[in-house]
A and B are shown apart, each in its own frame.
Chain A
Amino acid sequence: MWRYLLADLHLHTVLSACAEVEMIPPLIVRRARELGLELIAVTDHNAAHNVPAVIEAAAHSGLTVLPGMEVQSREEVHLICLFDTPDQVLAWQERVWAALPDRENDEEFFGAQFVVDAGGQYLRTEKRLLSVSAALSVEEVVAGVRALGGIVLAAHVDRPANSLLVNLGFVPPGLEIAGVEFSRRVNLAEAVRRFPQVAGYGLVVSGDAHRLEEMTAQTMLKVAAPTVAEVALALAGRDGRRVEIR
C-alpha cells in the first residue's frame, strides 16, 4: 500500500553551533506535526548525538525520524547522509570524527553545541569543533555511507557556499548520490534551468532549518514505507515510487 509522506530531510538541532536554542526535540516534533510532515531527518553538522533524543520525542506521534548527518567534505561540500537506525549513524560518526581536526569549538565565534534529551533538557556541551571539513573526499563520504546502508544527497546545491555544484563545478561522474537538495526558497523551475548539471537526479526541497520557522513541507514522497531504501527508490522514480515538489 502506498504512502504519501510530506518530508523535510535536512534540519539542525542545538548540537549544530549555528542553530537557534529553540531547535530541541519536542519543539521540532511539534512544528513537524503542525506542518503535516510525516518524515524528517536530523542532520547536524558532522555529528549525530541528538538523533536518539529526536526519535524518542517523536515516538507515537506518527512522525518518522531518519538518523542523519550533514557532513562537510574535504572539498567543503555539504552532503546529507541518511540512515535507518541510530547505530548506523553513530558508526558513521566514528568514521567522520577520525577525519576531523582535533580542535576545540570556539563558542564566541561559532556558537555552542548542546546535547539534549528527548524533553529538550540540557545534558552536556560538545566541546569538539564540528563546523569544519572532515578529511574525506565526496567520493569517500558516499562510499562510506553506502557501505553502512545509508544514502547521500548533495545539500543545498542552489546556494553559493558549500554546494557540490559550486565547489566542484558539476556532479563528479559516477558519484553515487541518491539525489540533490534545493533550499526552501528556491524557484524550482528557475533553479533547474540554472543548474542543468542536476538533470536526471532526483530532487528534494529541504528546510535546512536552523530555527523552527525554517522547517518546510514542500517535498512529497510516494513510498511503501518511510525507509532510506524507499526514499532512494522515490528519488530514482523507480518501482512506482516518486517525489513531488509542491
Chain B
Amino acid sequence: MKVQEMVTRLGLQAFSPGEMEREVTGGYASDLLSCVMARAKAGHVWVTLQSHPNVVAVASLLNLAAVIITEGVVPDEETVQRAQEHGISLLGSPQTTFTVAGRLSALGVSGAD
C-alpha cells in the first residue's frame, strides 16, 4: 500500500505530504523515540502521540515511509517545518494509536516482529 492510499483509507490529515507514492512496508507504534530508533525499519509507518521535532529527525534517520500522529495532536510549527524540509510524510489522525494500528493491520500492514 502506498502512503497516498493509506491517507485516503484512514482519512488522515497531511501536515507535510512527503512522498505520497512511497510504499509502506510495515509499521511500528511507540511513544519512546529510543525504542523507535531500535526497532522501526526503513519503509515503515510509525504511529505515535509524540509531536516533538525529534520525531522528524528519527523518521529521517530511519528513512521511514510516514509518521502518523494520533489523537488529534497538532505538531509544533517547527516539527511541521522540519518535516516539509526533509520531505517526511507527517500525517495526523483524530483516532487513538490503538485504533490506527488496528486499522493498518486490517489493511495488511504488519509489525516489526
* Pairing of A with B: yes
CA distance A166 to B54 in the complex (A): 12
Of listed A75, A76, A165, A172, residue having the most chain B CB within 10 A: A75
Complex interface: chain B residues within 8 A of A167 (CB) = 31-34, 50
Complex interface: chain B residues within 8 A of A137 (CB) = 52, 76
Asked if A170 meets B54 with Cβ closer than 8 Å, knowing A137-B76, A165-B34, the reply is yes
Complex interface: chain A residues within 8 A of B32 (CB) = 166-167
A35 contacts partner chain B, Cβ-Cβ < 8 Å: no
Digitize B45-76: 1 where CB-to-A-CB distance is under 8 Å, 0 elsewhere: 00000101110011000000000000000001
Contact between chains at A172 and B52 (CB < 8 Å): yes
B57 CB to nearest chain A CB (Å): 8
A166 CB to nearest chain B CB (Å): 5
Contact between chains at B36 and A169 (CB < 8 Å): yes
B37 contacts partner chain A, Cβ-Cβ < 8 Å: yes
Complex interface: chain A residues within 8 A of B58 (CB) = 169
Is chain B's interface secondary structure helix, strand, loop, or mixed overall? helix
Contact between chains at A75 and B50 (CB < 8 Å): yes
Count residues on chain B whose CB falls below 8 Å from chain A CBs.
Answer: 14
Of listed A75, A166, A168, A169, residue having the most chain B CB within 10 A: A169
Closest to B35 in A: A166
Is chain A's interface secondary structure helix, strand, loop, or mixed overall? loop
Instruction: Give the residue of A165, A166, A172 whose beta carbon is less than 8 angstroms from that of B53.
Output: A172
Complex interface: chain A residues within 8 A of B57 (CB) = 169-170
A138 contacts partner chain B, Cβ-Cβ < 8 Å: yes
Contact between chains at B54 and A169 (CB < 8 Å): yes
CA distance A246 to B54 in the complex (A): 33
Instruction: Give the residue of A138, A169, A172 whose beta carbon is less than 8 angstroms from that of B37.
Output: A169
B58 CB to nearest chain A CB (Å): 6
CA distance A88 to B36 in the complex (A): 37
A222 CB to nearest chain B CB (Å): 33
Contact between chains at B34 and A75 (CB < 8 Å): no
A113 CB to nearest chain B CB (Å): 26
Closest to B54 in A: A168
Asked if A168 meets B76 with Cβ closer than 8 Å, knowing A75-B50, A137-B52, A138-B52, the reply is no
Closest to A195 in B: B34
A155 CB to nearest chain B CB (Å): 15
CA distance A168 to B52 in the complex (A): 8
Complex interface: chain B residues within 8 A of A166 (CB) = 32-35
CA distance A76 to B53 in the complex (A): 15
CA distance A168 to B79 in the complex (A): 13
B61 CB to nearest chain A CB (Å): 9
Digitize B17-32: 1 where CB-to-A-CB distance is under 8 Å, 0 elsewhere: 0000000000000011
Q: List 20 A-B contacts (CB under 8 A).
A: A75-B50, A75-B52, A76-B31, A137-B52, A137-B76, A138-B52, A165-B34, A166-B32, A166-B33, A166-B34, A166-B35, A167-B31, A168-B50, A168-B54, A169-B36, A169-B57, A169-B58, A170-B33, A170-B54, A172-B52
Closest 9 CB pairs of A and B: A169-B33, A168-B54, A166-B34, A169-B34, A168-B33, A169-B37, A172-B54, A166-B32, A75-B52
- Beyond A138-B52, A170-B57, list 14 extra A-B contacts (CB 8 Å): A75-B50, A75-B52, A165-B34, A166-B34, A167-B33, A167-B34, A168-B33, A169-B33, A169-B54, A169-B58, A170-B33, A172-B52, A172-B53, A172-B54
